[in-house]
């Protein structure tokens, strides 16, 4: 059974950094695509970043390019999202998701497995 558990969320000030982690179990990171999504109050869920083990591709939403970095540690079975220069617009619940087919995509409907989410609040 695949399980994804996010951690690392919290409340920070604009300009701060925050690392998120997605701990996986029952998932083979060598053959999966892991995505990070976020959902702000009153808004639809949107893709933030993803990494594909099948073709080593990554994706970043335009608004986070140069600020966020996705990485995976196969030994620890975790996928991390390092978030720097955080802005109030980054406030949302952040989810990690996984799928065993295809490549990186921001289409949430493709992903089969989801974590419970972790809250990130950026406010002065």
Q: What is the pLDDT of residue 56?
A: 82
Nearest by Cα to 95 from 113, 75, 122: 113
Residue 78 structure tokens: 């975790």
DSSP-based three-state secondary structure for 63: helix
Q: Are 19 and 8 in contact (CB under 8 A)?
A: yes
Tell me the pLDDT band of 9, cut-offs 50, 70 and 90: very high
Q: What length does the chain have? A: 124
Q: What whole-number distance in Å separates Cα of residue 9 and Cα of residue 124? A: 16
What average pLDDT score do residues 112-117 get? 97
pLDDT digits 0-9 by tens, 60-106:
999 999 999 999 998 999 999 999 999 999 999 999 999 998 889 99
Q: Are 35 and 97 in contact (CB under 8 A)?
A: yes
């Amino acid at each position: 059974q695949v399980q994804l558990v996010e951690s690392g969320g919290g409340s920070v000030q604009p300009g701060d950094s925050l690392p998120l982690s997605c701990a996986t179990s029952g998932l083979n990171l060598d053959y999966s695509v892991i995505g990070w999504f976020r959902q702000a109050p009153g808004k639809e869920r949107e893709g933030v970043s993803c990494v594909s083990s099948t073709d080593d591709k990554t994706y970043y939403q335009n608004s986070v390019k140069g600020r966020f970095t996705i990485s995976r540690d196969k030994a620890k079975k975790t996928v991390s999202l390092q978030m720097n220069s955080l802005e109030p617009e980054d406030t949302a619940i952040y989810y990690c998701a996984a799928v065993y087919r295809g490549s990186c995509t921001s289409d949430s409907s493709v992903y089969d497995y989801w974590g419970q989410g972790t809250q990130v609040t950026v406010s002065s």
